[in-house]
Structure 1
Amino acid sequence: MRIHSYNKRETIPVNLRIILADDHPFVILGIRAALEMHAGVTVVDEATNPFSLIERLRSTPCDVLVTDLAMPEHSLAIDDGLNLVRRIRTGWPQLRVVVMTTLANAAILRAIVSDGAVSMVGKAESMDELWQAILAARHGETYLGRSIIEALAQPQDPECEQPPAPRLTGKQAAVVRLLVSGQSISDIAAVLGCDRRTVTRQKREAMAKLGVTNDPGLFSYVRAYGILNFESHI
């Protein structure tokens, strides 16, 4: 398997068709907006669970699929994301796939990236990292994000797969809880009775503590570990 890296000056052919799949519509909205800033890119369809993803693939031609690895509507089992990827690769062997994940299980990651048509990036990584993976996929190459490479390089201890609970303040936890429930910054400010700038600051500080850099990473982290597991204090 060849791992390829593309620089920002490279361009892609026009009419690059992408299908996005994530169980959080807000995440899809953000990724769509970021990708469609690139000339020639069109998000031709979206899916929020594995069933709808398979239906979209059957009905909508695309060049690259960008999909979350674990969507709870399918199952909460950690290896079901691997089964979904295998099903897609069997049904659409010519399709290039970019997987987004917070998973750190080296065995499952290795099983996925062993397929030369599948690239993978961490959900906490930047949109530029995702774009590089899409560029590589479009050119028939495989791309692994930095967090994926680091996870593959380290031996995994099953007892240490869940990170220590971050210490969020009560307000930070409240902001994150409301955000992942689908409320906007303005909505959260109204609920908490504070200024939008305060909500934005609390969100930024919470993300820093959780070690994520964007909304997809935040949603994925909360889905994986649960906001109730955060050790909150005022």
Structure 2
Amino acid sequence: MNLNLRIILADDHPFVLLGVRAMLETRAGVAIVGQAVSQTSLIKLLRRTPCDVLVTDLSMPEPGAAVEDELNLIRQIHAEWPRLRIVVMSTTTNSALLRVLASDGAVSLLSKTESMHELWRAIDRRESSRPYIGNSIATLLATPREAGCERPLALPLSGMQKTVVRMFVDGRSIAEIAATLGCHRRTVTWQKREAMVKLCVTNDPSLFSCVRAGEILKFESHI
């Protein structure tokens, strides 16, 4: 069966790009339509080159740029190309970060230590609409959280996340928050979900309780 998959690759390590490209070019019906080595070049490439699947590193620091939230790239791609299938290959072992990505349900996750066979399974999802989680990532996600998340995680809430959570707890809907902040509703949903993962809550009542208990202020003190 001819897949006719158009794939873009993104990684700031040339040898990773070389290895992934070499594997994918052995697959029938696969076309590598572009490569990028930074977040900026990837966004520019996506805007001019249609593709079906993006295989990308999670962290591609820009030369001379300040350290940013590693989720910014995925958020931006989701906002501009909501139907694009994304396969993230990363070396991170930050379980909080991985839980945010996994909770979205739209990103396949792999460790760079996984085999090329695992990568292909993540890309070739003809028989499943669900994203693929590699074995190494699944093991990390299955690890119990630190002391029931009674202490702050390594990822503090961003200013945007605190604003979204406060507005939500004040009774505003996702649509109302998006309109007030001038952004897409999906962006607000992402920010709310990330905040909940960092605060170790899984539903709205728990989020309300967490905020009322002052947990956001505790996170602010660690920024």
Check whether TM > 0.5.
yes
Other-structure match for 1:122: 111
What is the aligned counterpart of 2:79 among 79, 86, 90? 90
> How many aligned residue pairs are there?
147
TM-score where L is the length of structure 1: 0.58
The percent identity for this pair of structures is 56
3-state SS, counterpart of residue 124 of structure 2: helix
Other-structure match for 1:231: none
3-state SS, counterpart of residue 61 of structure 2: coil
1:15 positional shift = 1.6
- Answer yes or no: is the 8 Å Cα contact 1:23–1:49 preserved in 2: yes
Alignment partner of 1:132 is 2:121:
yes
1:82 counterpart letter in structure 2: L
Which residues in structure 2 correspond to 1:152-191 (within 5 Å)? 152-155=141-144
TM-score where L is the length of structure 2: 0.61
3-state SS, counterpart of residue 138 of structure 2: helix
Structure 2: gaps spanning 5 or more residues: 155-223
1:28 positional shift = 0.6
- Deviation per CA, 1:28-64, whole angstroms, max 9, x where unpaired? 1111010110100111000000000000110000000
Other-structure match for 1:104: 93
1:136 positional shift = 2.1
Q: Distance in 1 between matches of 2:104 and 2:57?
A: 17
Asked which structure has the greater RCO (Cα within 8 Å, sep 6+), the reply is 1
Alignment partner of 1:14 is 2:3:
yes
1:100 positional shift = 0.4
Other-structure match for 2:45: 56
1:137 positional shift = 7.4
Structure 1: gaps spanning 5 or more residues: 1-10, 162-234
- Answer yes or no: is the 8 Å Cα contact 1:64–1:96 preserved in 2: yes
- Deviation per CA, 1:151-190, whole angstroms, max 9, x where unpaired? 11113569xx9xxxxxxxxxxxxxxxxxxxxxxxxxxxxx
3-state SS, counterpart of residue 136 of structure 1: coil
- Deviation per CA, 1:91-126, whole angstroms, max 9, x where unpaired? 100101000011111111011111222100000110
